Amino acid sequence: MAGEPVNVNEFEELAKEALPKMNYDYFSGGAEDEYTLKENVEAFKRISIQPRILVDVSKINMSTTILGYKTSSPIMIAPTGLHKLAHPAGEIATARAAAASDTIMALSFASSCTLEEVASSCNAVRFFQLYVYKRRDVSELIVQRAERNGFKAIIVTVDAPRFGRREADIKNKMIIPPMANLKGVISHEVVSDKGSELQAYVSATKDASLSWKDIAWLKSITNLPVLIKGVLTSEDALKAVEVGVSGIVVSNHGARQLDYSPATITVLEEVVSAVQGKIPVLVDGGVRRGTDVFKALARGAQAVMIGRPVVYGLSAKGENGVKTVINMLKDELELTMALAGCCTVKDITRQHVRTEHDRHRCRI
Ligand SMILES: Cc1cc2nc3c(=O)[nH]c(=O)nc-3n(C[C@H](O)[C@H](O)[C@H](O)COP(=O)(O)O)c2cc1C
Ligand SMILES: CCCCC(=O)C(=O)O
C-alpha cells in the first residue's frame, strides 16, 4: 500500500502482506459462505446519521463508564484468540496499547500469552473471556486465576457449543497453536489429521451441553460480574436478565460460527428493548468506523467491541499498530459526534439515526 494507512480498513491489507497465509486466513475468515461476515459490515452502511446543527460542539467528551469502570471512549477490545499468530509479542502488545489509549480490553481464554503475563504487563482495565470446557475444573481454575490477577469481569461466550465451519482453515489444515493459559492444565493433542486441527481440538474440548442452568454454576464460582456473549434475540436477552447476568454482548462471533445469523447491528435494538435498561448491552461485529460506533450507541449499545481491526493493527505494526487502530476509531467517533451535534455519549439518541425500516415508515 502506498503511504501510511488512514483508516482501520487499510490495516487489513497491511496484515495480509505481513502474515503467512494460514494466519491471515484464520483472522479474517468467517463461517461457510461468509454471508454474515459481509452483512456485519454492510448493515451499518444502511443506517444514516441525522445530524443536529448549530450545537456548540467546541468540546467533545467521549468518556463513559462500563460496569462502573471509567474509560476514554465507548470502544473496547473484543476477545480474539492467538495473538502470537499476528505478532511475536502477542497479547502483551495488545494490552499495552489498550493501557496507553485508556481502553478496556477483553482477553481471550485462547490467548497466546498467559493471563498472568498480560496482567503484569499493563494497567488497563481488563475483562476475561471464558470458554467452558467439558472439564469444568479447567474452566473453574482459569476463572480463579483471572480473578486473582485483577480481571474485572468474566465474559462467557455462548455462541460456540461447537466450532463454526471455517473453510479457509479447513483448506489450510489450520494447526493448534499453543494456548498459554492451558499449558500444564490440559494437553493439546492432535485429534485429527484432516482439515482444521483447531476445529477438531475445540470440538473435542468444549462442553456442548452448557445451558442456561449452568450460568448459576458460573456465578457460584466467582465474585466477578458475569456477562454473556453471543445473544442475538430478545427471547435470549430476557432469559439472560432472568438468570441474573451483569451484561450482554450482542455478537455473532464476528460471523465465525453460525452463517446466516443476523448482522449484529440489525438485532441490537430488539435486545436493548427487551432488557429495558436493567443491564448494559454491548455489541460487536463489523465496527470499522467511528460512524459505526455512533450508530451502535444511537441504537442503544453502551459500548462496542472491536475484533479484527485490532488483530490487523497488531499484525502490521505490533503495539503501535493496535494503538493507531484504537486512536483512529476514537478520532473518527469524536469527529462524528461533533458533526452530528452531540457533545457527550449521552447526547447520542435514537433520533440521530435512521434505518431502512424508519425510512419506509416515513414514506407510508
Ligand atoms: C481471529 C478471531 C479470534 C476470535 N477469538 C475469540 C475468542 O477466543 N473468544 C471469543 O469469545 N470470541 C472470539 N472472537 C470473536 C470476537 O470476540 C468478536 O465477537 C468479533 O471479532 C467481532 O467482530 P469483528 O471482528 O468484525 O470486529 C474471535 C474473532 C476473531 C476474528
Ligand atoms: C481455540 C481458539 C478459539 C478462538 C475463537 O473463538 C475463534 O477463532 O473464533
Are 131 and 109 in contact by the 8 Å Cβ rule? The answer is yes
Q: Which atom of ligand 1 is nearest to the CA of 40?
A: 26
CA angle in degrees (0–180, nearest 5) for 215-249-144: 45
Helix (H, G, I), strand (E, B) or coil at 38: helix
Confidence at residue 96, expressed as pLDDT on a 0 to 100 scale: 98
pLDDT of residue 240: 98
> Does 253 contact ligand 1 (Cβ within 6 A)?
yes
Q: Which residues line ligand 2 (CB under 6 A)?
A: 81, 110, 198, 202, 253, 256
DSSP secondary structure string for all residues of 95-119:
HHHHHHTT--EEEPTT-SS-HHHHH
pLDDT band at 190 (very low <50, low <70, confident <90, very high): low
Nearest CA to ligand 2 atom 1: 110
* Arithmetic mean of pLDDT, 271-289: 98
Distance 79 CA to ligand 1 centre (A): 6
Q: Is residue 360 scored above 90 in pLDDT? A: no
Average pLDDT over residues 17-32: 98
For the chain, first and last CA: distance in Å? Answer: 47
Q: What angle do CA 314, 304, 119 make, to 5 degrees?
A: 50
pLDDT of residue 312 exceeding 90: yes
pLDDT digits (tens, 9 = 90+) for 226-250: 999 999 999 999 999 999 999 999 9
Mean pLDDT across the chain = 96
What pLDDT is attached to residue 192?
A: 67
Please report the pLDDT score of residue 194 as a whole number.
76
Q: Residue 362 pLDDT > 80, yes or no?
A: no
Tell me if 289 sits within 8 A of 311, measured CB to CB. no
pLDDT at 364: 67
What is the C-alpha to C-alpha distance for residues 38 and 17, in angstroms, rounded to an integer?
Answer: 21
Question: Is the pLDDT reported for residue 319 higher than 80?
Answer: yes
CA of residue 254 to ligand 1 center, whole Å: 5
Q: Which of 309, 351, 275, 315 is CA-nearest to residue 51?
A: 351
Check pLDDT > 80 for residue 201.
Answer: yes
Core vs surface per residue 111-148: b (16+ CB within 10 A) or e: bbbbbebbbebbebbbbbbbbbbeeeebbbbbbebbbe
Does pLDDT of 191 surpass 70?
no
Asked if 227 contacts 303 with a C-beta cutoff of 8 angstroms, the reply is no
Radius of gyration of the chain (CA): 20
* Proximal ligand: closest to the CA of 131: 1
pLDDT value, residue 186: 83
Share of the chain above pLDDT 90, in %: 88
Across 137-141, average pLDDT: 94
Alpha helices in the chain, H assignment, sequence order: 9-18, 21-28, 35-45, 90-100, 115-121, 136-148, 167-172, 197-205, 214-220, 234-242, 264-275, 290-298, 308-340, 356-363
pTM of the model: 0.97
- Counting every residue written for the chain, the total comes to 364
pLDDT at res. 202 = 84
- Cell numbers of 102, please? 485508556
Q: What is the pLDDT of residue 361?
A: 80
Q: What is the pLDDT of residues 105-122, one digit of tens each?
A: 999 999 999 999 999 998
- Say which ligand is closest to the CA of 41: 1
**Measuring from atom 27 of ligand 1, which residue has the nearest CA?**
307
Q: Report pLDDT digits (tens) over 63-75.
A: 999 999 999 999 9
Which pLDDT belongs to residue 2?
73
Q: Tell me the pLDDT band of 271, cut-offs 50, 70 and 90.
A: very high
Cα dist. 232→213, 236, 273 in Å? Answer: 19, 7, 13
Q: Which residues participate in catalysis according to the annotation?
A: 253
Ligand nearest to the CA of 106: 1
Nearest alpha-carbon partner for 274 in 232, 218, 227, 212? 232
Q: How far is CA 307 from CA 51, 107, 283, in A?
A: 28, 11, 11
* Gap between the Cα atoms of 305 and 106, Å rounded: 9
Mutational pocket test of ligand 2: of 142, 158, 166, 256, the residue with most ligand atoms within 8 Å of the beta carbon? 256
Residue type (1 letter), 141: L
Does pLDDT of 76 surpass 70?
Answer: yes
**Can you tell me the distance from the alpha carbon of 310 to that of 217, in angstroms, rounded to the nearest whole number?**
32
Q: Which amino acid is at 267?
A: V
pLDDT confidence of residue 268: 98
Distance 129 CA to ligand 1 centre (A): 11
